[in-house]
Homo-oligomer: A and B are copies of this chain.
Amino acid sequence: MARHAGVSPVTVSRAIRHPEMVSEELRKRIDDAVLKLNYIPNHLASALASTRTHIVGVIVPSLTNGVFDDYLGAIQDVLNPAGIQVLVLNVRYSESEEEKAIETLMGYHPEAMIVAGVDQTERSRQLLRNSGIPVVQTMDITESPIDLNIGLNHDEAGAAAVRFLHAQGHRRIAHLTARADPRARRRHAGYQRQMDAFGLSTKGLVGASPRPSDVAMGGELFAQILADVPEVSAVFTCNDDLALGTLFECQRRGIRVPEDVAIIGFNDLDFCTAAVPPLTSVSTERREMGTWAARSILELIRGGGKRPRQPTVDVGFSIKARGSTAAIETRSRAKRPRAKA
């Protein structure tokens, strides 16, 4: 490449990385050669020599559900224009895969890491801390972040969902949960805590599955609840897929939503507004978390080490009340039509 343009390798490097340092004539000659030869600098060599990899590692627990889509998009939208490449590894909700992924990523010497959740294994935390690079934990909040932390209180969100339903008059409130990742477990704990605080029993009202959640599972879990506690009047699901499945199960059985059973999901994915009735859901600030994480990293990388004033941010959540929940009408409760199954 350098030979083809009749200049030294250093000049090629400069023409590409710092064009203003090279005379117009040479820059032109080099640009031509680049195009002609389809030259693409070897990122490995460049990173090795400069000790700047322009890589940020991101670990997500899943790609299946729409949740991590906005989040990843937001991260890319901030980092890519800054010339930073995002390496995404999907660890499928597995702690051991996460450890491996962190090790792998560290081998690429990223300039920062963004991980989902705050429940890394001890070894994972150690690797992250030892790396000396900025680490952002997202999606959840903790008292003892590795470094930076933005998220929301899932326990509180679970409790809030229960309070929301309780305020509408519901007492038999079920909870459906699948593949209990730590955040879903916290939402479950919040549900349980609030039910306890209200003096309400949850016996037979919790449906859980170890399998990854999907829409069909929502129906299955709700069917189990119905078998145990036919009087169930509201369902809080740990995500929107299960909520949709529950809605379908109700349709299948001729159970009216929200008159007979109220449904509230979690995440507020796009299909919530489109459903019939539209699904009430606990909405989370996924884009904001991604954006904040990426921006903080950019500041740290550029600013050279001064931490933002606030290492932990609670973005909160909000309940989007829609047609799948409504204040209970006591009279209509008795004569609920129950289809055969």
Residues of A within 8 A of B (CB): 38, 40-48, 53, 63-64, 66, 68-69, 72-73, 76, 85, 87-88, 90, 92, 103-104, 106-109, 126-127, 130, 214-216, 218-219, 241, 244-245, 248, 251-252, 270-271, 273-276
5 A–B contact pairs at CB < 8 A? A41-B107, A43-B107, A48-B48, A63-B63, A85-B104
How many Å from the CB of A99 to the closest CB on chain B?
Answer: 12
With contact pairs A44-B44, A47-B44 given, residues A273 and B130 touching in the complex (Cβ less than 8 Å): no
Do residues B214 and A271 form an inter-chain contact, with CB atoms below 8 A? yes
Q: Could you say which of B90, B109, B214 contacts A44, with CB atoms under 8 Å apart?
A: B109
Known: A127-B38, A130-B38. A43 touches B108 (CB 8 A): yes
Closest CB pairs A-B (n = 6) = A43-B107, A215-B271, A251-B276, A215-B274, A216-B274, A214-B270
Neighbour of A275 across the interface among B46, B76, B248, CB < 8 A: B248
From the candidates B88, B109, B252, B276, name the one contacting A42 in the complex (CB within 8 A): B109
Q: Which residues of chain B have C-beta atoms less than 8 A from A48's C-beta?
A: 42, 44-45, 48
Q: Pick the contact of A216 from B63, B130, B251, B270 — CB < 8 Å?
A: B270
Could you say which residues of chain B place their CB within 8 Å of the CB of A72? 63, 90
Contact B270 A215 (CB under 8 A): yes
List, in ascending order, chain B residues with CB within 8 A of A53's CB.
Answer: 44
A72 closest partner in B (C-beta): B63
CB of B90 within 8 A of CB of A126, answer: no
Tell me the smallest distance from the CB of A336 to a CB of chain B, in Å. 18
* From B38, B103, B241, contact of A40 by CB (8 A): B103
Q: How far is the CB of A175 from chain B (nearest CB, A)?
A: 19
Residue of B nearest to A53 (CB): B44
The docked-state distance in angstroms from the alpha carbon of A103 to that of B270 is: 33
Contact of A218 among B107, B251, B274 (CB under 8 A): B274
How distant is the Cα of A271 from the Cα of B252 in the complex, in angstroms?
A: 14
Q: Could you say which of A43, A76, A92, A244 has the most chain B C-beta atoms within 10 Å of its C-beta?
A: A43
Looking at the complex, which one of B38, B69, B218, B276 makes contact with A64 (CB distance below 8 Å)?
B69
Query: Which residues of chain B are within 8 angstroms of A41 by Cβ–Cβ distance?
Result: 107
- Is A107 touching B42 in the complex (CB atoms < 8 A)? yes
Q: Which residue in B76, B126, B244 is a CB contact (below 8 Å) of A271?
A: B244
What separation, in Å, do the CA atoms of A109 and B63 have in the docked complex? Answer: 25
Q: Could you say which residues of chain B place their CB within 8 Å of the CB of A69?
A: 63-64
CB closest residue in chain B, given A66 = B64
Q: In this complex, what residue of B is CB-closest to A68?
A: B63
Min CB distance, A94 to chain B, in Å? 12
Within the complex, the shortest CB–CB distance from A261 to chain B, in Å, comes to 15
Q: How far is the CA of A38 from the CA of B132 in the complex (A)?
A: 13
Bound complex: CA A109 to CA B45 (Å): 11
On chain B, the residues within 8 Å of A271 by CB distance are 214-216, 241, 244-245
A130–B37 Cα distance when bound, in Å, is 10
Q: Which residues of B contact A45 (CB under 8 A)?
A: 48
Give the nearest-CB partner of A51 in chain B.
B44
Shortest Cβ distance from A41 into B: residue: B107
Indicate if the CB atoms of B274 and A248 lie closer than 8 Å.
yes
